[in-house]
Amino acid sequence: MNPESLSFIFLSAFLINNFVLALFLGLCPFVGVSAKRDTAFNMALATAFVMFVSSSCSYAINLVLTAFDLEFLRLISYIALIASSVQLVEMILKKFSPALFRALGIFLPLITTNCAILGVALFQTSRGYDFLQSVSFSLGAGAGFGLAIILMAGLREKLELSNLPNITQAAALSMMLAGILSLTFMGFAGLGTTV
């Protein structure tokens, strides 16, 4: 497959270079919100939406910054952009789905510090993607984050029912599980060369 093609960029961000399990981005919500499957699903949706909005906007902002030779402001403008798109999602949710807004609670504003979102913006800039490629990349990354967090939530729901030794409580076992998940995702490396 041509590594520049839209479908390959999507697939690469979704499975081969999964943002959570291969690149270690967005681990805080991955550990923090993966206790129940439905909250995990909502979190994944909100994150994917913020990713899509901020990635398209950061493409535009990068054009402006490059035109005026202001690349050193890139990081600051990206982070401000992400903070405002999170605010946007918050307002939309509050208006159209107050139940979901309450379910996500504190984790909604925390999407701002989700490194996966800044990661998408930074990677698409450093790889020089054009607009369509950026869109495909951000959709793939969002889907990959969702897949990882929902898989993890499913596993952790099973764990609650099993009899475990005391020392595996808190995050220790979750990390082990994530390691095994990550090991299985390495199998996807056979799909194509990693970028």
Partner 1 sequence: MANPTKKETPITMDVFTAGLWKENPVFVMMLGLCPVLAVTNSVENSLAMGLASIFVLVCSNALVSALRNFIPKQVRITTYIIIIATFVTLVDYIIQAISLDLYNKLGAFIQLIVVNCLILGRAEAYASKNSFGKSVISSLGMGLGFTLALVMLGGVRELLGAGQFLGYQVFSTNFQPWVVMILPPGGFIVLGSWLLLINYIEQRKTGKLIAEDLASHCSVNQH
Q: Which is nearer to partner 1, 119 or 192 (CB)?
A: 119
The least CB distance from residue 79 to partner 1, in Å, is: 5
25: three-class secondary structure by DSSP: coil
- Cβ partners under 8 Å of residue 129, min gap 6: 9, 59, 137
Task: Determine the angle formed by the axes of helices 115-126 and 37-67, rounding to 10 degrees.
Answer: 40
Q: Which is nearer to partner 1, 48 or 82 (CB)?
A: 82
Q: Which is nearer to partner 1, 3 or 187 (CB)?
A: 187
Interaction site with partner 1 (CB under 8 A): 21-28, 31-32, 72, 75-76, 79-80, 83, 106, 109-110, 112-115, 118-119, 122-123, 126, 166-176, 178-180, 182-183, 186
57: three-class secondary structure by DSSP: helix
Place of tokens 């993890």: 152
For residues 99 and 171, is the Cβ–Cβ distance under 8 A? no
Q: Which is nearer to partner 1, 45 or 110 (CB)?
A: 110
The least CB distance from residue 152 to partner 1, in Å, is: 11
